[in-house]
Structure 1
Amino acid sequence: MSSTPYLDALSRDGFVTIPNLIPPQLLLALKACSKYTTDRARQGKWPYVRTVPKQYPPWQEWKPGDNIWGIQHLLHADMNVRDTFAELYFSDEVLSVVKELLGLKDDPNGDEKLVMELFNLLVSPAQHQDFELSWHRDDIRPDVTPEEEERLLQEKSPGGQQLHAQYNIALFQDSSLIVIPGSHRRVRTETERAAAPYEPHLPAQLVVELQPGDAVFYDSNILHRGIYKGIDVTSDFGRMTLHGSVGLAGHGNERARQVLQHAVGDWVDRAQFSIEGRRGERAEGMRRRLVDMGGGKDLGYSLVG
C-alpha cells in the first residue's frame, strides 16, 4: 500500500477524487452560507463576481443585468460569512490532502511552507442561461507551439511537482468538470490542437461526478473545460461548488501571477481570521505569506477571454 495514494493518482491521471471530504455539520453550514452569498451576489450586494460569458480575469464588478457563474473572494475581509468559509479552507481535512500533493506529508514544518491563495464559489447561471468554458490549461495559452507547450509543462511542474494544489468541493451534486486524464504530462495531440474551443467530445475525456461533500483535486496543467447548466433560481439551487487553491512558498512570480491576477492582493492585508489555536496560527502564517507576494499590479494575466 502506498503512503501517498492521492499524490500517486494525481501524478498518474492529473486529478484525484475524494468522497465525503467535508464533515456533515460543516457541509450543512457551508450550504447555508453559499446560498446566502449567491443570493446576495445575484442581487448586486457582493460586487466581486465572474459574469457570463467572460471566462478569464480580469473580472469586472457586478452591474445590473449581469448573470454570474462565480463569486470571488470568500475570505475577503468584507465577506460577512467568511469565518465559515475559512473553517473549511484552513481545515485539517483540506490541508492534509494539500500537503500530500505538495510533497509535505512527512515534513514537520509543512504548515510553514503553505501559502493562502484563492477561494471562490462556482454557481449555476440564472434564467436558464447555459454557459461553457472552452478547453484549456490554466496557465498555458492555447496558441503556443508544441515545443513551447512541452517547455512550459516542464517549467510549471518542475520534477513533476506542482507549485500549488487546487480543488473543487461540491456542496450539491456536480458534473460540470470535464478532464482528459493524463494530459497534464504531455503536449496536446493533433486532434486536441485542431479541436474547436467548445468541442463536446474529445478522445478519452471524462466527466468528474461529485456528490455533496466530495472533492476533486486536479493539476492545473490538465486539459479541461466546464459546463454550467442555467437554472430557475426560484426553484433550483443548481451547482454550488467551492473552488480553491493553496500554494507552496518560495516560487516568486511564477506562482504570484496566477494568484494575484484575481485581485486578491487588494484586500489580503486586512483579512484577519477569528480561528484560534494551532489552526489559527497556520491561517495567519498562510495569509502573511500571501501578503509578502505583493499586489501583483504588473504581473499580467495567464489567459485571455
Structure 2
Amino acid sequence: MNATPRTPHLDALRKDGFVKIPSLLSTQQLRRLRESCEQTTKQVRQGKWPYVRTVPKQYPPWHEWRPGDNIWGVQHLLHPDMAQRNAFAELYFSDEVLSIVKELVGLKDDEHGDDQLVMELFNLLVSPAERQDFELCWHRDDVRPDVTPENEAQQLKEKSPEGKQLHAQYNIALFDDASLIVVPGSHQRIRTDEERNAAPFEPNLPGQLVVEMKPGDAVFYDSNILHRGVYKGVDTSTDLGRMTLHGSIGLAGHGSERARQVLQHAVGQWIGRAQFDLEGSKGERAEAMRQRLVEMGSGEGLGYSLVG
C-alpha cells in the first residue's frame, strides 16, 4: 500500500499562512540571477524598460516609466522583449520552484501535475533610490479592506478551499531581505476589531512577524494573509539594496476568479508572443503553461482587486 505523501510545506502554509524555504537557490543560480537583476534594474532606472512599479503607488494599474520616477518594482520579467528573460524563465519553470508549487496547490509532483499549472506573474522587487523609504499598507491581495466581516469570511473561504489556494505565490531573495511583514494565521479568519480599525501603516500590529530571508531563501505565502511591505530606500550609486523575485503560478480551471488577479497586471497584452527558448521537458512545460495563460484572455473588463 502506498503511503500518504508528506506535505510539510502545505501543512505550514495552512497553519501559518506562509512557509519559508531556506537555500532554495544554489550558489550558481544565485550568482546568475544577481547579475541578471542588476543589469535589469540599471536599465530600468535609465528609462530603458517601461514596465515598472513606482513610488508611492501600491497596486495596479501601473503607468509606464517616466523621467523622475522612483521605482520599487520591475514588471514582466518573462516579457519577450526583456533582455534577461532566459535567466528568469530558467528559474520560473524550474523543478525547484514547481515541485513546491504543486504541493501547495494539491498536485502530484510529476509530469501529470504539470498539466494543470498556469503561467502567471514574475516580477522583481527592488529598493527605492535616493534613500526614499516606501511602505505598503496592511492588506490582503484580493479582499478589499472595506468589506463587511461576513463578506470577508465568505471570500476567504472561497479563495482557499480546504486550506489550499488556487495559486502559489512567492518571494525569492537574492540579498538579505526583511521587507515582508505578516500576521501568522490571519489567512484563516476575519480581521479582529483592532486589525480592522488599525491605521493603514500601523507599525506594530499584534502578532505581526517580519519574514527574514538570507540570499537564496524563498517564502511562499497565502496571498490573503494580512501582510504589508516595508522597503528601505538606498543610495543606488553605492548600494544595490534588496532584489527579490516575486512570482505566482496558478492552477488551471478557475475562470474569471483567478483571471482578474493575474490579468490586472497587463500580462495578457504580450503573452501571445512570449515563446521561451528552453530545452527539453522544461521547454514543453513552459509552452503548455504559457498557452493556459493565453486561454485566460486579455483581462479587459475584469477590473482590479485593490485600489491605491
Is the CA contact 2:99–2:109 (under 8 Å) kept in the aligned structure 1? no
* Aligned counterpart for 2:224 among listed residues 221, 226, 233: 221
How far apart are residue 21 of structure 1 and its match? 0.3
Matches within 5 A, 1:221-300: 221-300=224-303
Cα distance between partner residues in 1 of 2:109 and 2:241: 39
The residue correspondences of 1:63-212 to structure 2 (distance < 5 A) are: 63-106=66-109, 109-212=112-215
> Quick one: distance in 1 between partners of 2:74 and 2:109?
35
CA contact (8 A) 2:260 2:305 kept: yes
Amino acid at match of 2:17: G
Cα deviations by residue, 1:47-92 (Å, 9 ceiling, x for unpaired): 0000000000000001000000000000000001100000000000
What is the rounded CA distance, in whole Å, between the counterparts of 1:114 and 1:73 in structure 2? 19
Question: SS of the residue aligned with 1:176?
Answer: strand
In the alignment, the residues of structure 2 paired with residue 18 and residue 216 of structure 1 have an alpha-carbon distance, to the nearest angstrom, of: 6
CA distance in 2, matches of 1:172, 1:23: 13
Q: Which residue of 2 aligns with 1:48?
A: 51
**The residue matched to 1:138 in structure 2 has which SS?**
coil
Structure 2 SS opposite 1:237: coil
Question: Bigger shift: 60-69 or 150-159?
Answer: 150-159
Deviation at 1:183, TM superposition (A): 0.2
Instruction: Give the C-alpha shift of residue 158 in structure 1.
Output: 1.9
Structure 2 Cα separation of the partners of residues 289 and 202 of structure 1 = 39
CA positional deviation for 1:26 = 1.2
User: Among residues 45, 53, 60, which one is paired with 1:57 in the alignment?
Assistant: 60
Partner residue of 2:26?
Answer: 23
Runs of 4+ in 1 over 4 A off after TM superposition: none
1:108 Cα shift? 5.0
- TM-fit CA distance, 1:233: 0.3
The number of equivalent residue pairs is: 305
CA, structure 1 residues 2+190, in 2 after alignment: closer, same or farther (shift >3 Å)?
Answer: farther
Matched residue, 1:32: 35
Task: Please provide the CA RMSD for this pair.
Answer: 1.0
Q: Which amino acid aligns with 1:203?
A: P
**Structure 1: 5+ residue stretches without partners:** none
Q: CA deviation at 1:159?
A: 2.4
TM-score, scaled to structure 2: 0.98
Counterpart CA distance in 2 for 1:81 and 1:38 is 11
Q: SS state of the match for residue 241, structure 1?
A: strand
- Quick one: which amino acid aligns to residue 127 of structure 1? E
1:12 aligns with 2:15: yes
Alpha-carbon distance change, 118 to 106 in structure 1, aligned in 2, over 3 angstroms: closer
- Quick one: distance in 2 between partners of 1:137 and 1:26? 31
Identity level (%): 73
How big is the shift at 1:228?
A: 0.5
Encode CA deviations 1:115-143: one digit per residue, 9 max, x unaligned: 00000000000000000000000000000
| SS, match of residue 256 in structure 2 | helix
Shift of 1:155: 1.1
Compute the displacement of 1:160 (Å): 2.0
Taking the aligned partners of 2:128 and 2:198, their CA distance within structure 1 comes to: 26
For 1:138 and 1:98, locate their aligned partners in 2 and report how far apart those are by CA, in whole Å: 18
